[in-house]
Amino acid sequence: MHHPDVPVLAAPASLDLARMAVLCHALSDGTRLGILAMLRGGERCVCELQDELDAAQSRLSFHLKVLREAGLVTDRRDGRWSYYAVVPAALAELHDLTVAIQPAPVRAALPTAGACCG
């Protein structure tokens, strides 16, 4: 809900809200955040992720798929093993999108109560 004392600003033309929604959705789950935290130190084998998270293979696969489709992690196969790593550029992109939606400094006086739309 919009507060009457806070101005509503349109999103900058360069702000990709659809992309931001994909990234935020991928980060909206504790398991997925745990996976990213584990990958901070570098690439990890899926079996390590499964053991540390104590997650069923099917559940972990689902979460890794969400992160991969959002572009937050990459995977590579080495024989029968899959390895995952964070994509630093995707986290930088999320940072930039988040900074872009921060409120702009208020330069003009705010309208008095009842002056808007009325």
Which CATH number is 17-100 given? Answer: 1.10.10.10
Amino acid at 26: A
Has residue 87 got a pLDDT over 90?
yes
The span from the CA of 22 to the CA of 72, in Å, is 10
Per domain, the residue ranges of the chain are 17-100
Q: What is the pLDDT of residues 15-37, one digit of tens each?
A: 888 999 999 999 999 999 999 99
Residue-level pLDDT at 6: 40
